[in-house]
Structures are given as structure tokens and as C-alpha cells.
Chain A
């Protein structure tokens, strides 16, 4: 039986839009607009979607780097104790900060240029009770070796490393407190393809060695296919499809996912792919369209899509759970 590690219920992150002389709030950017999601222990959950759809904001909201406006983020420990994180005081978050960590997108801004690697990594260790310097050096050195770098590199400055190396140092930082869940926020998208593969392999290796769970945020569906167990597709702050990664490619239910998948380049000259080109941009999250948020760009849109908001419903494909929010699916709904 799969056990949850994190349960998100109706998570919303709104950013106020201020205007005018008195800085009145005239509207909200609905970056994340009601997300329900369970992350299971030991899985790799992909979170895909185009830029601006709120996937990074959702990742940060889990760690409370961005405060959620509404909703619950519940952490379930190994002993199945549940803790709701968003209502905790800042200082009561500490024990959970150890469990949840993040790897950032941009390897160039994710390391402090004024400190050596050891210098910038030692403070978190100090805070969580690793008091002797030798011990801190040992932990960081061991982790550097675990990501195939030399132990001595900890005394070097970030500008002495290449992008791929920095990203691996970013992974070391996320690992140094022995976390359970790591949010990989576009962790490989800034790297070139050969280094991407290297870092992805490393991530999978580390997952095996340390029993990690990943929330893998990406805009690149070809990456998710390779390493995710399940994939959630986001559009305009909402999850539109959630299923096992194999089903997403074979039994796509939502027209938006179909369009995304058709955009993956295929290295086969004979294979004819039907490319679905989406017209226009993502609608403004300040003022989302009525009805299904995807209807202005959807090639299949019907009248019902313009008036009624679809909810995430459960279906079954290949005997697996498959969630999608679209009016036009003819599969029977499972309760």
C-alpha cells in the first residue's frame, strides 16, 4: 500500500495586484488556484506545464518560501503522524524544514559567490546541531563524493565550477540534512543535454540510496517520461491531469496534455507525428477565462466548456487511477 508523505488540499497562492496612488489591491494573480495533490513516499511525481502556470510557486508554497493564501499542506511522517504545515509558526517549522528541501533551477544564482562551498553549506548544519567543524566537513565531503565530485572542492568558490558541477553542489545542499522529500524546481533545465542526463542519473541514484521522494517540476515532458512514476499536468494554477507517467503518454485524456506531448521531438524520421499547435498565450492569471480555463485555446472546445468549470474527476485507464478535468472525456467516471 502506498503511503502519503505530503497531502495538499485546496492550496491557493494569490499575489495581490496593487495600483493607483493609495496602493489599493485591484485584483489578484491566481498563481496557484486550488490544488489537491497527494505525494506518496518513495515516488517521483512530475509536475509539468508551460511557464507561468504556477508550478514553481506550488513547489515553493510547499516549503513555505511563498506563503499559501489558502489551503492545507499536511506532512505525514514515517510513523504516520500528520502535521499541517501552513498554520505552524515560523520557528515550529524547523523540524519539517529538515525533511523538505529544494534544488533550484539556476545554477548561477543558487550559490553564494562570496563564500566557499563549505562556508555557505555549514550554517544549516550548524543550526541543526552538527557542532564540530570536523563533523561538518566530513558530512559535506561525503556528500560531494556521493555526487561524484572531489572532497577538496568544498574549499573552492562557486565561480570556479561549471554549471553542471554547481547544480550537483545544489543537490548536496539539499541533501545535507538528510531530507525525505526534495522539490526539484526545473533542476536540469538550465543544463545542456549531456549534463542533464548525468544529473538525472545522479538524482535517481541518490533516490535509491537515500529513500527520497521527489517532486520534479519541469516544463520538459521528455524528461518526466524518463524518471517520473506519476505526472501531474498544470494549467493556469490548476491540475488538469494526473496519472501514471506511462498512461499520460499512451492514454492521454486532457487536450492540453495531448498538445504538450505532441510537442516532444521524436528522433525517428519515418514516424509521422501530428503536431498540435496551441493558438495564443496562457490567459492572464489575474483574469482567468470563465468556464474551463483552457477553452480559448482548446482545439476541441464545445459550448459547455465556455460556461462550466470542469472538476478533477477520477477515471481508469489500464487499471490505474487517472484524474483529469475536462468535460469531453467519454470514459466512465469512478467514484
Chain B
């Protein structure tokens, strides 16, 4: 009987199985699932390029981001100045590169730190329940109901503008959301029978909730981290735009955008705000792609 193409395929599979080239997994499942997601990989590549470019900014650009050069004010993009120059003659491309350092640090740093705080509190309180949970819930409500902008104003007027003040405020106002997300997942997970089985072995609370339950709660948290990274970068841009964020002399993406407050610049000098706006949007988009990819790859019940 003639062999169909399906037969040949099965023969191949059988042969490979016999050679045991199947059974050994070289890559971990999460990594290979992530790499199968094209958008996520694309996001990761652009994300890495932007981060590397800002880290190695001094090698990529001959200019100093702070140096004022009044002879070359408001020049349109050219071979010398890729993104043109701003009102004081500083090279916009260089400033975008250096600004990325601060902006990404604030965005990712605050998102990850607030996630760490939120998860640490949320997992434990959600699993344990009782008065710990009630207290944590009320405290998070207080933090979440406090208007961010007033907190910023308050801290800026007391201690002056600084990067770490801004991050502290982002974490203080941001952990509540992460806490609630983690808590809600834990509340539904703790009734699952595998958790009861672990309890019937008398394993410690820490092992049960951080080692065995947390991985199952992680996928929505992962998405939330990326979303809040994006949000923090945008908030930083917004606050800097208002002059409340990072001190104006430090280049950040928000501080660079700040010049667009001037209607004259907005109308006539597009290169001062256009490229940096684009970079912010692209970066935020990439972070969201990565978040989607991470969510899908950490969800064990989805086939990759």
C-alpha cells in the first residue's frame, strides 16, 4: 500500500521518538512559549534596543545633553543633529537617549517595586484572611483614595523636586492596585483542592502561598506590571510637563516634552516634541506587547 504523506509524518515522529530527541526539553516551557508569540518578541526587541541605546548613550552621540549651544538654536533635523536642536541649542536626539535612562528607570522601577510590595502584602493577607486582611484592605484604600497630584505637590514643596520623591510617591499610590489584584486571586485560589492538600501536609504558610499559589496568581499581575510601567512613564511625563516631576535640568522624556507647552514651538518646531512623543508611545506599546506575551506564557493551561 502506498504511503500517504500522513504516514510519512508519523514515521518521522516515531523515528524521532525512538532516538529520544523528543523527550529532552532544551528550553524551558515558558521561554519557548514566549518566543512563539511574534508580537511579544517584536516588543522585546524594540524594548531592548531602546534600553541599550539609552544605557550606551555616550557612545552613540557626541553631544552633551546639558550643554547649551546658542549658535545652533532650533535647528531642524539634519545629519549633525538627527532630531534637530531645541531652543537652547541642545541636541534633541542626545537628550532623548539620556532621558530614556531616567524615564525607564522611574517607570519600570516604580512598577516593579510597587508590585513587590503589593504582592508580598496581598498574597499573605489574601491567603490568611481575618484581621490581617481587613487591616491591609483599609490601609490600601486610604492610599488609593489619596490624590496623587496633591501628594506630589506636598512632597515637592517640602523636600524639593527629586527623582526618588517621585518614585516613592508612585510606589505609595501604586501598590494598592497590585495588592487588590493579588488578594483577589488568592481568595479564589485558596479554596482550590491542591491548596487544601498542601495544608493537609502541614506545610508552612510561606511555602504554600508564595511558592505554590503565587505562580498561579502571576499572570494578571504580570500584565498589570507592564500596564503600570506604561502609566508611570506617562505620569512622569505629565508631571514633568507641569513642572512637578523630575527637576527640569535632568533630561527625561517628560521634561523634553515640556517645551511643547509653548504654542509657538508646538506649531513651528515639530522635532522638539514629535520624536520624543513617538519614542514614548513606541516604548509603552512594546511594554504592553511583552506583558501580553508574558501573561500567555505563564498561564500553564494555555498550550504554546
The interface of chain A, by Cβ under 8 A from chain B, is 60, 63, 65, 90-91, 93-94, 97, 100-102, 104-106, 109-115, 120, 123-124, 127-128, 152, 157, 159, 170, 173, 177
Contact = CB atoms under 8 A, between A and B. Distances in A.
Interface size class of B (residues with CB under 8 A): 20 to 34
A114 B196 contact: no
B12 interface: no
25 contacts: A60-B196, A63-B200, A65-B196, A93-B202, A94-B202, A97-B201, A100-B200, A102-B196, A104-B193, A104-B197, A109-B193, A112-B194, A114-B215, A123-B198, A123-B207, A123-B211, A123-B212, A124-B198, A127-B201, A152-B23, A157-B300, A159-B300, A159-B301, A170-B197, A177-B201
Q: Which secondary structure characterizes the binding site on chain B?
A: helix
B48 interface: no
B88 interface: no
Contact of A123 (B192, B203, B300, B301): B203
A90 B204 CA distance: 10
Contacts of A170: 197
B203 A102 contact: no
Contact of A114 (B199, B207, B300): B300
Interface in B283-304: 300-301
Contacts of A110: 192-194, 197
Contacts of B203: 123-124, 127
B216 interface: yes
Nearest to B215: A114
A111 B194 CA distance: 5
B193 A105 contact: yes
B215 to A, nearest CB: 4
Contact of B194 (A65, A90, A100, A120): A120
Interface of B: 23, 29, 192-194, 196-203, 207, 211-212, 215-216, 300-301
B200 A97 contact: yes
> What are the nearest 10 A-B pairs in CB distance?
A114-B215, A110-B193, A124-B201, A104-B193, A97-B202, A112-B194, A113-B300, A109-B192, A109-B193, A94-B202
Nearest to B205: A90
Given A114-B215, A123-B211, A173 B197 contact: yes
A102 to B, nearest CB: 5
Contacts of B200: 63, 65, 97, 100-102
Contacts of A60: 196
A128 B201 CA distance: 9
Nearest to B195: A112
Given A65-B199, A93-B202, A159-B301, A120 B212 contact: yes
A114 B194 CA distance: 11
Residue of A93, A106, A127, A128 with highest tally of chain B CB at under 10 A = A127
A90 B216 CA distance: 26
Contacts of B199: 65
A20 B126 CA distance: 23
Nearest to A108: B193
A105 B212 CA distance: 20
Contacts of A173: 197
A241 to B, nearest CB: 29
B87 to A, nearest CB: 54
B86 to A, nearest CB: 50
Nearest to B202: A97
A104 B196 CA distance: 9
A102 B202 CA distance: 13
A100 B202 CA distance: 11
A106 B300 contact: no
A112 B207 CA distance: 14
Given A109-B192, A124-B203, 10 more contacts: A60-B196, A94-B202, A101-B200, A105-B193, A113-B301, A114-B215, A127-B201, A127-B203, A152-B23, A157-B300
Nearest to A105: B193
Contacts of B23: 152
B68 to A, nearest CB: 55
A123 B212 CA distance: 10
Contacts of B198: 123-124
Nearest to B303: A159
A128 B202 CA distance: 10
Contacts of A113: 216, 300-301
Nearest to B199: A65
A57 to B, nearest CB: 12
B154 to A, nearest CB: 34
A215 to B, nearest CB: 13
Contacts of B207: 123
B123 to A, nearest CB: 14
B28 to A, nearest CB: 11
Nearest to A185: B193
Nearest to B299: A113
A104 B194 CA distance: 9
Nearest to B212: A112
Contact of B212 (A63, A104, A106, A115): A115
A168 to B, nearest CB: 14
A170 B193 CA distance: 10
B302 to A, nearest CB: 9
A106 B201 contact: no
B195 to A, nearest CB: 8
A15 to B, nearest CB: 14
Contacts of A111: 194
Nearest to A159: B301
A157 B207 CA distance: 20
Contacts of A90: 202
A173 B196 CA distance: 12
Residue of A101, A114, A127, A173 with highest tally of chain B CB at under 10 A = A114
A60 B197 CA distance: 11
Nearest to A111: B194
A65 B191 CA distance: 11
